[in-house]
Structure 1
Amino acid sequence: MSELGESVFFSAPDGLRLHAVDHGRGISDALPLVCLPGLSRNARDFAGFAEHFVTRAKPRRRVVCFDYRGRGLSEWDRNWKNYNVVTETEDLLAGMAALGITHAAIVGTSRGGLIAMTLAAMRPGIMRAVVLNDIGPVIEGDGLTQIRAVLSRAPKPSNWDEAIALQKATMAKHFPALTDQDWASETRAKYREVKGKIVPDHDPALVRTLTSIDLRDRLPTLWPQFMGLSSLPVLVLRGEHSNLLRHDTVQKMAKRHPDLRHVTIAGQGHAPLVHTAGIPELVEDFLKTRRR
Structure 2
Amino acid sequence: MEPRTHWILSDVRLRVLEWPGEKGTILALHGLTGYAETFLPLIPALHPPYRVLSMDLRGRGESEQPADERAYGLQAHLRDIAAVLDALAPEGALLMGHSLGAMLALALAAERPDLARGLLLFDGGPLPSRAFSESLNQVLNARLEELPSLEAFRELVRAMPFLQPFDERLMPVLEAGLIREPDGRVRVKFPSRLGALEAMELGAIWNERLRAYAGRIRCPVLLLKAPVGALGPHDRFFTEEEERLLREVVPQVRIVEVPGTTHYTIVVGYHPERDRLARAFAEEVLG
Q: Using structure 2 for the length normalisation, give the TM-score.
A: 0.84
Deviation at 1:158, TM superposition (A): 2.8
Q: Residues 211-242 of structure 1: CA distance to partner in whole angstroms, max 9, x if unpaired?
A: 85697x99845542563564111111111112
Residue matched to 2:153: 163
**Root mean square deviation, CA, Å:** 2.8
CA spacing shift, 1:257–1:100, aligned 2, 3 Å: closer
Tell me what 1:284 maps to.
279
CA offset digits 1:107-154 (Å, max 9, x no partner)? 000111111121123201211110111112242233334334433433
Farther-moved stretch of structure 1 (157-166 vs 251-260): 251-260
Moved more, 248-257 or 229-238: 248-257
Are the structure 2 counterparts of residues 96 and 230 from structure 1 closer, same or farther at C-alpha, using a change threshold of 3 Å?
closer
Q: Contact 1:107/1:113 (CA < 8 Å) preserved in 2?
A: yes
Provide closer, same or farther for how the CA distance between residues 218 and 46 of structure 1 changes in structure 2, counting only shifts above 3 A. Answer: closer
CA displacement at 1:210 relative to structure 2:
5.2
Where does 1:39-50 land on structure 2 (aligned, <5 Å)? Answer: 39-50=32-43
Q: In terms of mean alpha carbon deviation, does 79-88 or 108-117 score higher?
A: 79-88
In structure 1, distance between residues paired with 2:284 and 2:74: 30
- Count of equivalent residues: 277
User: Is 1:108 matched up with 2:97?
Assistant: yes
| Structure-2 separation of matches of 1:32 and 1:211 | 29
**What is the match of residue 245 of structure 1?**
237
**Residue 198 in 1 paired to residue 186 in 2?**
yes
Q: Which has the higher helix share?
A: 2
**Counterpart of 1:117?**
106
- 8 Å CA contact 1:35, 1:106 repeated in 2: yes
Q: Any unmatched runs of 5+ in structure 2?
A: 230-234
What amino acid does structure 2 have at the position aligned with 1:20?
V
In structure 1, the gaps of 5 or more residues are none
Instruction: Tell me how far 1:208 sits from its aligned partner.
Output: 4.5
Q: Deviation per CA, 1:88-116: give whole Å up to 9, x if none.
A: 01011111122244210000001111111
1:236 to 223, 240, 252: 223
1:203 to partner: Cα distance:
3.7
- C-alpha separation in 1, matches of 2:110 and 2:199: 27
- Whether the 8 Å contact between 1:43 and 1:72 is mirrored in structure 2 is yes
Q: Deviations over 1:13-47 (max 9, x none)?
A: x2x211111111xx23x221000000111000112
| Identical amino acids, percent of aligned pairs | 21
Q: TM-score, normalization: structure 1?
A: 0.82
CA distance in 2, matches of 1:75, 1:214: 21
Distance in 2 between residues matched to 1:230 and 1:71, nearest whole Å = 28
Q: Which residue of 1 aligns with 2:124?
A: 135
